[in-house]
Amino acid sequence: MSRRVTFNRNPLLSQLLPQWRSRFILLLLLGGFVALVARSLYLQGVNNEFLQAKGESRYSRVIEMAATRGRIVDRNGEVLAVSTPVKSIWAIPEDAKLSPAQSRQLAAMLGMDVRELTRKLSAESEFAYLKRQIPPDVAERIAALKLPGIHEQREYRRYYPHADMMAHMLGFTGVDDKGQEGIELAYEAQLAGKPGSRRVIKDRRGQIVEDVESIKTPQDGRDIQLALDAKVQYLAYASLREALETHRARAGGAVVLDAKTGEVLALVNLPTYNPNNRVRLSGAQLRNRALTDTYEPGSTMKPFTAAMALDKGKFRFDSTVQTAPGHMTIGSATISDAHPHGLLTVAQVIQKSSNVGAAKLALSFPPEHMWRMFDDLGFGAPLKLGFPGEVGGRLRPAKSWRPIEQATMAYGHGISVSLMQMAHAYLVFAREGDLLPLSLTRADSPPLHGKAVFGAQTAREVRAMLELAVQPGGTAPKAQIQGYRVAGKTGTAHKLESGVYANKYVSSFVGLAPASDPRLVVAVMIDEPSGGKYYGGDVAAPVFAQVMAGSLRALGIAPDAPLAPLQVAKDAETVRESM
């Protein structure tokens, strides 16, 4: 009979374990316990930042406090750009469990398609913008719905009271209130300010339940006061728009400068756009043509050629130049005048706008003299106004000039400039031959003297020539202004397309007034007029007259010429009829 072995009498249990093994296990347990205690003491007593950071990461947040963007105002303090508070609606997709009815209601209030809203709420992310920069009253109505996972955030949106009239000068900001074009971009650092931050406690739905502390106070952006005058800007805008409609032109620009300070009082380009609503924009609308586009200036360059001739002492105001038979041949090319004139004085070369006369004046000097004059006037290099996209034009080195090129540049072909460069260069005639730097912002302490380019006597004599150009017998009688002496020059140039001069024109006029003591310089450019007229005296000169007349009166500049008796009688009759 087999011997039965029970569990409690198993011979394996009767064998004792080695003592070293039990002691080793005990030491391991004690060591682990001591390590846990030491780690606990270290984390809670010595390095407690770790546990605090882990805990705070679940409820504490540091949020950015936006700085208010600075305003842009004109020289008289009129607001041109200001940031207004708006709201943005955002969501935590995981928490946004909306019913179909709620989705339709929210989409309607946001002006969104329901499918687009559903797509955003279905995104696998912790945060999603639904609609940015909506009016505060709409945000309040959405908040009143108390939809799960739907939140609002305060932001700022830029508003431009003068809309398209100031668009190219001011530019605009993006959805994050950062400058994208124009003054908004050029002065981004001053306008934007510096954002602050604060620490808050949020619940799991992202809602702030407690404001803990302010870490850094936001610094609001600085206001920028431009040299721009809103009244002068409006006059330039309205006159240019009327001219483009009348002559069915492709585009145009106008610039008004203060001859005493170099300040830019107006800058207008057409076509333009509304910076408050930029849904449908093209590149052509956004271009600030007065600074970013170049053109061949045509006869508006002739006064500089005459000034060089006078300043070098080789010619006088009444020196004669033979322009008969109305054309001249240089190599294989022929230069012609619109009308043959015969023997002309230097003053009459400008008054009659003789290409042959200007070419002969230029060719009597080495090319280096002419290049140095153009360079001193600022042609061929940006004006360094700090404006985005500003160009310098085209002025090749003098050593590469051929005689025909020097001759054509004397009357504005073979050289390209921007409208702002041309207006700036005419300051030498409005002043005593010196050239002031331009300023987009108001200059409380403008420089009294600029860079000397011509002598004072030369500037005065060329100014007298420019007065002749707007008198009967000149090319621009339509530039005259009742009560003011005006001086200026027309320009009519073929457009260069693919290296060939096309049957398209750029019409321009640059002038100054009052001629006895010039205060303003106005430059006007009309691109591709197609209404039957294209000469600068017919297309651009009348715009100059309207802008200059209105600007002089708006600024309170005293007349320097008597009113014609007929005009006085007509005005008096108008007053009587209106009484």
- CB-neighbour burial class of residue 77 (10 A; exposed 0-12, middle 13-18, buried 19+): exposed
Q: In angstroms, rounded to a whole number, what is the distance separating the alpha carbons of residues 573 and 303?
A: 41
Task: Give the SS3 label for residue 119.
Answer: helix
Q: What is the pLDDT of residue 4?
A: 60
| Sequence letter at residue 199 | R
Percent helix, strand, coil in the chain (nearest 5)? 40, 25, 40
Q: How far is CA 296 from CA 63, 240, 248, 408, 479, in A?
A: 54, 20, 21, 11, 21
User: 230-569 falls under which CATH superfamily?
Assistant: DD-peptidase/beta-lactamase superfamily (3.40.710.10)
Using an 8 Å Cβ cutoff, are 387 and 291 in contact? Answer: yes
Which residue from 511, 497, 424, 417 is spatially nearest to 463, judged by alpha carbons? 511
pLDDT, tens digit only, all 579 positions of the chain: 455 655 556 665 556 667 777 778 888 888 888 888 887 777 677 666 665 666 665 556 666 667 889 999 999 999 999 988 888 888 878 778 888 888 888 888 888 888 888 888 887 777 788 888 888 888 888 888 888 888 887 778 899 999 999 999 999 998 788 899 999 999 999 999 887 767 666 665 555 555 556 667 778 899 999 999 999 999 999 999 999 999 999 999 999 999 999 999 999 999 999 998 877 776 778 889 999 999 999 999 999 999 999 999 999 999 999 999 999 999 899 999 988 999 999 999 999 999 999 999 999 999 999 999 999 999 999 998 988 889 999 999 999 999 999 999 999 999 999 999 999 999 999 999 999 999 999 988 888 889 999 999 999 999 999 999 999 999 999 999 999 999 999 999 988 887 788 889 999 999 999 999 999 999 999 999 998 899 999 999 999 999 999 999 999 999 998 876 433 334 433 333 333
| DSSP line for 407-431 | HHHTTT-S-BB-HHHHHHHTHHHHT
20: Cβ contacts below 8 Å, ≥ 6 apart? none
Map out the domains of the chain as residue ranges.
62-97+105-110+127-225, 230-569
Q: What is the pTM of this model?
A: 0.80
Catalytic residue IDs? 299
* Top-level class of domain 62-97+105-110+127-225: alpha beta
Q: How far is CA 356 from CA 44, 156, 347, in A?
A: 95, 60, 14
- Helical (H) or strand (E) element with 224: strand 224-225
498: Cβ contacts below 8 Å, ≥ 6 apart? none
468: Cβ contacts below 8 Å, ≥ 6 apart? 347, 348, 350, 351, 474
Q: What is the pLDDT of residue 579?
A: 31
